[in-house]
């Protein structure tokens, strides 16, 4: 059980670091407005309302890569139930994404895209970690 907890925790941490790294890169391409205070929710809401679609697509890419990488790591560390561990990581990252979207309004298309990418990306991470192992036997 300790290894399972470690797999999920490390998966979430690495997934979060991947998200941060891709979002850092996106800020180089699509810099936030000058003087934006990230602690000011109202300022963040205004910035999000004016964010270009490319910046939002980068956020989706960050969330997908974080879920994929975190899911891959969790499945690689877990002794059994590899897919389940990866999906737990994807679910935790999805919960964080939902919290972000609730706090800072996002367009409806973004909500839809975000909600359908976390778990499939984590699943793909598990498949990449255990190639050739069918999902139903990865639980044993």
Q: 37-49, pLDDT tens digit by residue? A: 878 888 888 888 8
CA neighbor of 67 nearest in space, from 128, 132, 11, 136: 11
Q: What is the pTM of this model?
A: 0.87
pLDDT of residue 63: 97
The string of pLDDT tens digits covering residues 82-136 is 999 999 999 999 999 999 999 888 999 999 999 999 999 999 999 999 877 766 5
57 neighbors 6 (Cβ within 8 angstroms):
no
Residue 27: both structure tokens together: 């800020």
Residue 139 scores a pLDDT above 50: no
127 lies in which domain range?
2-137
Report the number of distinct structural domains present in the chain: 1
């Amino acid at each position: 059980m300790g290894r399972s907890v470690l797999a999920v925790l490390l998966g979430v941490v690495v997934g979060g670091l991947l998200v941060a790294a891709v979002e850092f890169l996106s800020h180089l391409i699509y810099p936030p407005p000058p003087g934006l205070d990230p602690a000011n929710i109202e300022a963040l809401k205004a910035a999000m309302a004016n964010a270009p679609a490319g910046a939002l697509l980068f956020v989706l890419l960050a969330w997908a890569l974080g879920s994929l990488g975190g899911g891959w790591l969790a499945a690689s560390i877990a002794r059994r139930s590899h897919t389940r561990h990866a999906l737990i990581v994807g679910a935790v990252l999805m919960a964080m994404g939902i919290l972000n979207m609730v706090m800072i309004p996002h367009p409806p298309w973004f909500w839809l895209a975000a909600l359908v990418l976390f778990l499939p990306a984590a699943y793909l991470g598990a498949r990449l970690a255990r190639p050739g192992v069918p999902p139903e036997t990865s639980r044993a």
